[in-house]
Amino acid sequence: MSMTSRISALLAVAVTATALAFASGELHAQQRKGFSPIDRTDQKKSKQDLNLKGHPTPPLATPLEKIPVDKLRLPAGFKAEIWSHGHPGARTMVIGSKGTIFMGSRLIGRVYAITDRDGKREVKVLLQGLTQPNGLVFRDGSLYVFAINQVFRFDNIEDRLDNLGAPVELTKAFNLPDTLHHNWKYVAFGPDGKMYVQVGANCNICEINPGTHGQIRRYNADGTGMEILARGVRNTVGFDWHPQTGELWFTDNGRDWAGNEGPEDELNVIRKGQEGAFYGFPYCHANGIPDPDIRIPNACAGVTLPAATTGPHSAGLGIKFYTGTMFPKEYQNVAFIARHGSWNREQKFGYDVVIARTDGGKVTIEPFMTGLLDEKANQFFGRPSYLLQMPDGSLLVSDETNGAIYRISYAAPGATKK
């Protein structure tokens, strides 16, 4: 920066102090589009502690020695270790064909590239200043980045980590609603080669515009050919396809301020031939619970109920069907679900990874990775967010609170190999 430009930057600051004075007046003139009616939350009726509040995401990384890896508990034979750290706000993870792990975040606005060099991880801030870039997907050498209000494609990205170049902007092609709330993205390619994207309900509980919100959509990778695959979905930010049936399974976060015990979060499936089905929001939740604040007759008629419920306020985010060979056979095609943990519940709940066995008639949910919640002290130490199966069959778990990734591996008990 030259001396003159430094001075002009400071001048700009000083002038801005007064320029802001008229900014607020201008905003009123703008009418927002796609804006849903007022939130109908009735907190008092919930009989919950009214001082429950969202947990902060620290913008600075937890020092290595304070990352709670020693607290993690797993079934016999499994081991957890710190895979990488120093990337605050750790959430979504995708892997490039050359092994780079790309990581998305929410509030802190960063996308990281994590590379493995001689067994050590190097973390690089690839992008910053974005509005909640939670949606990442990698295909044919390109990284797609979905922020709430922007969509970019970076071609040939793994060869250009140090000099990204200009991306292809796809914002207009996807034409996603620009409302902020519950609109951070989850994106994945399906077995049909289409790109799946969700649009959450922009409230806790309200009458959403079903034409724009509460949906899972699919597109061609260039943003054309939009179809709506699921409606009445409050806030899914994780999905995956069953490796054998090819059906789409998705987590969905239930509404808040309707009691400590529910309605429970959902694990849903779009069965073959049920594309476009209605999943109940805002009228019907969990296993058929009519909403207490928005009442309509026969609230659950015609609603596709969940395959399983996943606990009250547990906040299931990432889901991944395991297809590797490292874990024992009984984990084949089992869905791992990262539960971020509750905020709207007096006794904290979740903060773990569970497994869902979906084959057979009844879906069962079992614990897998625990230890980040001290139930007695009602205190949590980390928040599992997303999962990534590595080429060697190990499973990575991101922890948003600590800015770390844990690697879970398996060795048969008694085996001595490292």
Query: Which parts of this chain interact with another protein (CB under 8 A)?
Result: 1, 3, 6-7, 9-21, 23-24, 27-28, 30, 32, 35-39, 43, 50-54, 56-60, 107-110, 128-132, 178-184, 202-204
Query: Smaller CB distance to another protein: residue 7 or 64?
Result: 7
CB of 24 to another protein, least distance (A): 4
Give the residue with the Cβ less far from another protein, 36 or 268.
36
In the bound complex, what is the minimum distance in angstroms from residue 30's beta carbon to another protein? 6
Q: To 10 degrees, the CA torsion angle through 232, 238, 241, 247? A: -10
Task: Write down the residue that tokens 């049909």 correspond to.
Answer: 192
Least distance between another protein and beta carbon 237 (Å): 13
Q: Which is nearer to another protein, 55 or 71 (CB)?
A: 55
Beta 120-127 vs 135-139: how paired, if at all?
unpaired
Cis bond upstream, residue 384 (ω within 30): no
221 C-beta neighbours (distance < 10 Å), count: 18
Q: Which is nearer to another protein, 125 or 301 (CB)?
A: 125
CB-wise, 20 or 76, nearer to another protein?
A: 20
Taking phi first (over 0 means left), then psi (-120 to 50 degrees means alpha), and beta for anything else, what does residue 262 get?
left
HEC readout, the chain: CCHHHHHHHHHHHHHHHHHHHHHHHHHCCCCCCCCCCCCCCCCHHHCCCCCCCCCCCCCCCCCHHHCHHHHCECCCCEEEEEEEECCCCCCCEEECCCCCEEECCCCCCCEEEEEEECCEEEEEEEECCCCCCCEEEEECCEEEEECCCCEEEECCHHHCCCCCCCCEECHHHHCCCCCCCCCCCCEEECCCCCEEEEECCCCCCCCCCCCCCCEEEEECCCCCCCEEEEECCCCCCCEEECCCCCCEEEEECCCCCCCCCCCEEEEEEECCCCCCEECCCCCEECCCEECCCCCCCCCCCCCCCCCEEEEECCCEEEEEECCCCCCCHHHCCCEEEEECCCCCCCCCCCCEEEEEECCCCCCEEEEEEECCEECCCCEECCCEEEEEECCCCCEEEEECCCCEEEEEEECCCCCCCC
Q: How far is the CB of 330 from another protein (least distance, A)?
A: 40
Query: Between 37 and 211, whose beta carbon lies closer to another protein?
Result: 37
- Closest CB 17 distance from another protein, rounded Å: 5
* Shorter beta-carbon distance to another protein: residue 41 or 115: 41
Nearer to another protein by Cβ, of 5 and 224: the residue is 5
Q: Is 294 or 326 the residue whose CB approaches another protein more closely?
A: 294
Q: In angstroms, what is the minimal distance from the CB of 413 to another protein? A: 42
Q: How far is the CB of 11 from another protein (least distance, A)?
A: 7
Place of tokens 């679900």: 337
Q: What's the closest the beta carbon of residue 187 comes to another protein, in angstroms?
A: 18
Q: How far is the CB of 101 from another protein (least distance, A)?
A: 20
Comparing CB distances to another protein, the nearer of 58 and 141 is: 58
Q: Nearest approach, Cβ of 320 to another protein (angstroms)?
A: 26
Could you tell me how far CA 417 lies from the centroid of its own chain?
35
